Amino acid sequence: MVMVSFALHGQMKPDWTRVSEREVNYPQKNFFTGYIEGNVQQHETVEDAKIRLLQDARGLLSESIRVTVKSRAASHTVSTDERFNAVFTAEVQTATEVEIAGIHSEQPYHDPESGVIHAFVYVSREELAGYHKSNLTMHLTQAEGLLQTARDLEASGEKAKARGQCETAIQLLARVRIAQDLLTAIDINVTSEELQQPRTEALHSRLVQMQAQLAQAVFVYLVSNEYLFDTKVNIVANQLKAELAKSGCSFIDNASKADFKLNINVSTRHANTNNNFVFCYADTQVELYDLHKKKVVYSDEIAQRAGDTSQERAARKAMTEAVKTISEKLKPWIEN
């Protein structure tokens, strides 16, 4: 977000065009500034030149802050966790490429005698610090909420979703670190309490622990093709997900993030009827493909028989009972 304000000075040469006046009215301890002079280039109007030089002045101001932040970030050991450091580095690059918030601009001045155009921008250190303190608190609160959601999801067996919450929390925590570096660059006297360092370190520790815990989960991409006679269903798939979740297995919708791809094909058929009691088979083909080893590690064909008072009830029962058999055969391959 960039806030631009223009102060009109008529035809008089503004005080801010003189370095002595800038040092008095915009002291370095209170402001970041950007000042530049230039001439109208070929095929350029005076107004176009003013806009160009104003942007250049803004760039000078922003770069002075960015250099300080990049320097601090480069020497800042965030964590021994390589994944977190990679995200932090990427977020630093993104953050330092955007405009610094709260920049104010004076109306560029064109000297009619020399033809020189003067452009000047500034931002209050106090205003900039307030913006980043607000961002720091917001990102911390959001990251803490994501971590709690991740814990709730992990407790209910939805580890893939929990991992996603943690990844988003990592990005927010990286932005917290950037805000802290910015605040330190803006105000060398900023306190640990103002930087919320204890809260940040506690969150970082809990987040790393949660990541390590989730790293033990096995992620499976399931492709199911089930028919209860002529009706397409998901009886085996849904029950199998619930059963394998007890062994730390999570099912995800993105094959590129999975450890295994599980293919299940199920069809049902009538077996026989005995004294009004109907028996049916659930014929299941199972194939487990290891996406890391890039090969099929388990395949089987299972014919599960069950009986009930109707053909549909018998077939459903056979499909349900097949789940336990399939689960027991898969567990040695996918358990943590």
Out of 75-89, 101-115, 145-159, 284-298, pick the least confident. Answer: 75-89
The last residue of a domain, from among 124, 151, 185: 124
Task: Please tell me the predicted confidence (pLDDT) of residue 77.
Answer: 47
Give percent of the chain above pLDDT 90.
49
Residues 251 and 271 in one domain: yes
Residues 93 and 133 in one domain: no
| Full residue range of the structural domain in which residue 137 is found | 128-214
Separation CA 193–CA 35 (nearest Å): 34
Residue 303 covered by a domain? yes
Residue 261 covered by a domain? yes
Count of domains for the chain = 3
Residue 313 covered by a domain? yes
Q: Which residues, including other chains, have CB under 8 Å from residue 299's CB and lie 6 or more apart?
A: 285, 286, 287, 288
The last residue of a domain, from among 124, 148, 182: 124
Task: Please tell me the predicted confidence (pLDDT) of residue 35.
Answer: 95
Reported as a pLDDT band with limits 50, 70 and 90, residue 300 is: very high
Burial of 161 (0-12, 13-18, 19+ CB in 10 A): middle
Residue 7 covered by a domain? no
Task: Please tell me the predicted confidence (pLDDT) of residue 1.
Answer: 42
Residue 6 covered by a domain? no
Range of 68-77, 97-106, 175-184 with top mean pLDDT: 175-184
The pTM of this model reads 0.57
Residues 120 and 137 in one domain: no
Contact 82, 103 (CB under 8 A): no
The mean pLDDT of 254-275, rounded to a whole number, is 90
Residue 135 covered by a domain? yes
Range of 4-8, 72-76, 96-100, 237-241 with top mean pLDDT: 237-241
Out of 90-94, 140-144, 155-159, 199-203, pick the least confident. Answer: 90-94
Residues 95 and 158 in one domain: no
Backbone φ/ψ region at 123: left (φ over 0), alpha (ψ -120 to 50), beta: beta
Residue 320 covered by a domain? yes
Q: What is the CATH number of the domain that holds 289?
A: 3.40.50.10610
pLDDT of 107 above 90:
yes
Residue 4 covered by a domain? no
If you compute the radius of gyration of the chain from its CA atoms, what whole number of angstroms results?
A: 32
Reported as a pLDDT band with limits 50, 70 and 90, residue 212 is: confident
pLDDT of 87 above 80:
no
Residues 118 and 135 in one domain: no
The last residue of a domain, from among 124, 154, 179: 124
Q: What is the CATH number of the domain that holds 112?
A: 3.30.1660
The mean pLDDT of 241-258, rounded to a whole number, is 84
Residues 222 and 191 in one domain: no
